[in-house]
Amino acid sequence: MVVKNQIKLIKSLHQKKYRNLHGLFFVEGIKTVKELMESDFEVHGIYTTDGSLLEGGRDFQILISETELKQMSSLKNPNTILGVFYKPKAQDIDFTDWVLALDHVSDPGNLGTIIRLCDWFGIRHLVCSLDTVDCYNPKVLQASMGSIARVHVVYTELAQFLEGSERQIFGAFMDGQSAYSTDLRSSGILVMGNEARGISEEIKAICHKKIGIPQFGDPSTESLNVATATAILLNELRRGN
């Protein structure tokens, strides 16, 4: 039987301030929990309603009731298992390959999809402005489908990071030069902006080159979703490699 304090702790992790306070986050679903268990993330506790998922002799794994899982879960229909993990320590950024940077991306679904895209295209380092949505938000983790296990996400003062990087910085803009005709080198930093406002004026001033995705359809379509635009541009970065 799960004690009330454990349920209380996990319910508190629905909020960013408590994730930061405890240095913990949770994920749900068999696939995602297993991927994180097989990664470098340190396990705090695994809670499941299915005894067949428990591995013998591991005291951090606990069999719980459906009612208890619902009390912990962020989902309307919880999916069998919930895992609590320690937030990882910061890693050094590897600038020998492309780095993706996000300037105030606010939608959890977009960030989760972008993390998954980084995993697909082999982008190991994702740098986020301090006002970008928390990557350990349950909705972000749900959308990332376990890719958080393989993509290092760091939050920092973005302008300061970019100014100190000594790498060529490409910003994604509606009026930027076509990415299809731009010389995209073997490494650099690609910056994507906010869903509604794009890249801020402060970050725009730091970018060395403005690139964009040519529009072929109806001009009444104002812009692409930031995750969709990220997918197109990451594909272009990798296309010649």
Strands 61-63 and 43-48: parallel
Domains of the chain (ranges, CATH numbers): 4-86 (3.30.1330.30), 99-239 (3.40.1280.10)
Q: List Cβ neighbours of 41 (8 Å cut-off, separation of 6 or more).
A: 85, 86, 88, 149
Tokens linked to 153: 């996400």
In the chain, which residues have pLDDT < 70? 1-2, 55-59, 220-221, 240-241
Q: List Cβ neighbours of 158 (8 Å cut-off, separation of 6 or more).
A: 101, 103, 127, 128, 129, 130, 203
Predicted local distance difference test score (pLDDT) of residue 9: 97
Report helix, strand or coil for 160.
helix
Give 14's Cβ-side CA count (13 Å radius): 9
Picking from 59, 57, 56, the residue whose alpha carbon sits closest to that of residue 46 is 59
* Nearest-angstrom CA–CA distance, 103 and 99: 13
Tokens linked to 40: 């470098």
Q: List Cβ neighbours of 164 (8 Å cut-off, separation of 6 or more).
A: none
Question: If you write DSSP's letter for every residue of 95-111 in order, what string do you get?
Answer: TTS-EEEESS---HHHH
Predicted local distance difference test score (pLDDT) of residue 52: 84
Tokens linked to 162: 């970019």
Predicted local distance difference test score (pLDDT) of residue 127: 98
Report yes or no: 142 and 167 within 8 Å, Cβ to Cβ.
no
The packing angle between helices 226-239 and 108-120, to 10°, is: 10
Q: How many residues does the chain have?
A: 241
Picking from 80, 75, 85, 71, the residue whose alpha carbon sits closest to that of residue 52 is 80
Predicted local distance difference test score (pLDDT) of residue 138: 96
In 3-state terms the chain splits into helix, strand, coil percentages (rounded to 5) of: 35, 20, 45
